[in-house]
Structure 1
Amino acid sequence: MNIILWNCRGVTGKDTVSRIFNLIKTYNLVLVCLVETRADTQRTRNFCKKFKKQWDWAATPARGYSGGIIILWKKDIEKVTPICFSRHVIHLTISNNPFKPWIISIVYNGQSLEEQKATWKELDSIANIAGPWMILGDFNAIRTLEEKKGGQMNWRSGMKSNYFNSFIVNNNLSELKFSGPPFTWCNNQRGGSRIWARLDRILCNDKWLDDASYHQVSHLARCQSDHSPLLLKCWKQEYHNKKPFRFDNNWIHLPECHKSVETIWETEELGNPMHATSHRLHNLKTDLTKKCMGYSRNLEKKIKQIKEHITELESRECSYRSNGDIWTTLRPLYMKHQAYLRQHTTYWAQKSRLQWLQNGDCNTKYFHQMSKNHRNNNIILYIKNKEGTLVTEPAEI
């Protein structure tokens, strides 16, 4: 599924319309999100009439020469339902196999700090939704000083960044990795007055990352525009690369692990010492994979089972007919439950590649998020073949 986001700064110009049609044809788009359309209700209708009958649309008109959002989608998408409109945001749900239903929020944030605070408040109100959520748009704010080149940062710009970062952190959102120029906006002035900034981006929650784990964002050429179009490609993985062997730190607690190491290292190997060591390591990897693989993956099931057993015994202990023998049974269960929790935390901390772990910190939800971010960073977006051509299709990569 291919989606484009573009701050087109008006939809009435012939060059703008030509580029939109070119983007649709070139990238086989199914969803087109245009912000700062500068089009009132009638101009919006006239623009959308230019598209054939297989396209549908929803829009928020501009106020005077400011703002405006238009969303176009192909009718062969299973279902698109606009659910809420405001001056700066349009929310819609989209269902399209093989993906789960998403909520998408298209944002054109205001220039003033007060308008931006109102936008964050509006988005905060739906941030606890249960399903996949993606937010894309021109946020008119940067996150760090590195996202701007040229010009000066005043206190108001700093406040915008603070509110923007707080919104992202408080709602556990992630930014999608991108390829292309680092800045998405330029004022197109010359010399020392030229300014670049990254104002446009795509955010999502962890449920969206679960559903669309294979995706890529490209910052396309601005050409004569102030803003770069952002192209988002999402697909389901149709091929599976063989995963490399990784030692699970929880195996240290298993007798099978120690037995395998002891047995294989005591095996006599002939030939060069380096070759013998390599052969032992290979045999150890095979043996550990066979005997220990899956132990940590079953921890959640074990934790659930032992919690159910503890709940049952604690309920019996509270009854008038209970005796002191129940405590004798409960005590080792408590210890085993704590051990499983520590192992579960260790497993996800290792997957997220965190080298630190504070005592008592068992925030496995955070580790899940870090693991997904690393998986996203490991995706290869493009590669150059022998002919020097950039290849972007996943199967070809």
Structure 2
Amino acid sequence: METKLSSIDRREIDHLIGKDWDCWHHPAVGTSGGILVLWNRLLVSFDVKETSSQVIVGNLLIPNLGIWKVATVYGSRCCGERSNLWKHLEKCMENSFPAIIGGDFNCILNKEEKRRGKRFLFSKGPKEMKDFMMNSNFHDIAYIRPRFTWCNNKEGTSQIWERLDRCLLNSFAIQKLPLAAIRYLARVASDHSPIVLKLDASVRFKSKVIKFEDTWRSYPACKSIVYHSLKKKDYGDENMILQRKTSRTLRALFFWNKNKCKDLNSLKEKLKGEILELQNKEALGENWSAEDHLLL
């Protein structure tokens, strides 16, 4: 992800995604760029090999799938600087590993990947990207809508849509994932759509740890559950008593949440679906009904 930060510390990572995740951050240049790569160390290992302002490259070791070369890209908006990106990738991605290059390339390849704005020209930028893909055996895989991944968030005729974000796979990766397709998620906190590429449905980790959710504090019942759970008497030394009270309280909150707040996740997914549907309509230039506006 693009951070736009000169630095990020471990506490921020823990707050953002949890203590089970490791990271590598390349600082931003001024107020743009900055690349943050995160991986769950309980599921995979990631060994960083190359890093620059436009790309972080490393070896991702996945149980049952072996080693994958992965490059996370934030392409410069300057065509001349992007030329250095292609040269860098050509050198570090030439091997027999399955390889994935994904991120914000800040470049489109044809007129169908743009709506409004200046007329598309197959100029030096798109040509160099196409040449890299052909020479290094990388392929633009299928994707699930929306068609565009970035919007300048303006209104009317000033609004521009482009497909700046994508995933490229080499032939070795496609052989392992013949039906691979990426999914673009709804834009919520960014002007870019997040990309999801699922490597293997069987690689999963089910944690038995129960974590306190900040959402619980907004419910009056939560305070009552905590009060009555901590009030119960326990025996043993001070550490054992504290552990039992904490464990009992979290279990009580977990099952209360499961029974009383089970609709929150379905509501969240429903709202994301509505956001995605509206963004698709907006990107395709379809008229919105009054009801659509009310949903926002």
Residue 236 (structure 1) shift: 6.8
Give the Å deviation of 1:181: 0.6
Residues 47 and 60 in structure 2, CA contact (< 8 A), matched pair in contact too? yes
Cα 1:44–1:140 shift into 2, 3 Å: farther
- Equivalent residues in 2 for 1:169-180, closer than 5 Å: 169-180=134-145
> Which residue does the alignment assign to 1:99?
65
What is the CA distance between 1:224 and its match in structure 2?
A: 5.0
- 1:145 Cα offset (Å): 0.8
**CA separation of 1:73 and 1:236: change in aligned 2, threshold 3 A:** closer
Letter in 2 for 1:126: C
How many residues are aligned here? Answer: 202
1:334 paired residue number: none
Q: Counterpart in 2 of 1:119?
A: 85
- Letter of the 2:166 partner, please give it: R
Q: How far off its partner does 1:100 sit?
A: 2.1
Q: Counterpart amino acid of 1:40? A: S
| Mapped partners of 1:223, 1:127: distance in 2 | 32
Query: Alpha carbons of 1:154 and 1:52: their partners in 2 closer, same or farther (altered >3 Å)?
Result: closer
**Matching of residues 270-349 of structure 1 within 5 Å:** none
CA distance in 2, matches of 1:78, 1:195: 38
Matching residue's letter, 1:103: K
CA distance in 1, matches of 2:11, 2:74: 21
Structure 1 residue 99, shift from structure 2 partner: 0.8
Tell me the TM-score normalized by structure 2.
Answer: 0.64
Decide whether aligned partners of structure 1 residues 54 and 236 sit closer, same or farther in structure 2, where only a CA change above 3 A counts: closer
Offset, 1:208: 0.8
Task: Name which of 208, 220, 227 aligns with 2:185.
Answer: 220
Task: Show CA shifts across 1:147-190 (max 9, x none).
Answer: 000001376x7221111111111212111111111000000100
Structure 2 gaps of 5+ residues are 203-272, 274-296
Match of 1:161 among 118, 126, 137: 126
**8 Å Cα contact 1:99-1:212 kept in structure 2:** no
**C-alpha displacement of 1:214:** 4.0
CA contact (8 A) 2:110 2:120 kept: no
1:109-143 deviations in Å (ceiling 9; x for gaps): 10111111010110111232121111001000001
Deviations 1:334-382 (A, max 9, x none): xxxxxxxxxxxxxxxxxxxxxxxxxxxxxxxxxxxxxxxxxxxxxxxxx
Q: 1:161 to 1:126 in 2, by over 3 A?
A: same
Note the C-alpha offset of 1:78: 3.8
**2:98 is the alignment partner of 1:132:** yes
Amino acid at match of 2:92: I
Partners of 1:234 and 1:154 in 2: CA distance? 33
Instruction: Note the C-alpha offset of 1:231.
Output: 1.0
1:96 corresponds to which letter in structure 2? I
Amino acid at match of 2:41: K
C-alpha separation between the residues in 2 aligned to 1:215 and 1:177?
7
Instruction: Indicate if the aligned counterparts of 1:184 and 1:228 stay in contact, CA closer than 8 A.
Output: yes
Question: In 2, are the aligned partners of 1:134 and 1:208 still within 8 Å (CA)?
Answer: yes
Q: 1:44 to 1:202 in 2, by over 3 A?
A: farther
Deviation digits for residues 15-42 of structure 1 (CA, Å, limit 9, x no counterpart): xxxxxxxxxxxxxxxxxxx1x210112x
Q: Distance in 1 between matches of 2:19 and 2:181?
A: 29
SS of residue in 1 equivalent to 2:181: strand
Conserved 8 A contact 2:111-2:120: no
Structure 2 CA distance for partners of 1:58 and 1:149, relative to 1, 3 Å: same
CA distance in structure 2 between the aligned counterparts of 1:129 and 1:75, rounded to whole angstroms: 25
Cα distance change of structure 1 residues 230 and 78 upon mapping to structure 2, 3 Å threshold: closer
Q: Which residue does 1:76 correspond to in 2?
A: 42
Q: What secondary structure is seen at the aligned counterpart in 2 of 1:166?
A: helix
Contact in 2 for aligned 1:212/1:236 (Cα 8 Å): no
Counterpart of 2:48, as a letter, is P
Structure 1's unaligned 5+ residue stretches are 1-33, 238-389, 391-397
CA contact (8 A) 2:39 2:45 kept: no
CA distance in 1, matches of 2:28, 2:132: 25
RMSD between superposed Cα atoms in Å: 2.0
TM-score of the superposition, structure 1-length normalised? 0.48
Query: Does residue 1:65 correspond to 2:31, yes or no?
Result: yes
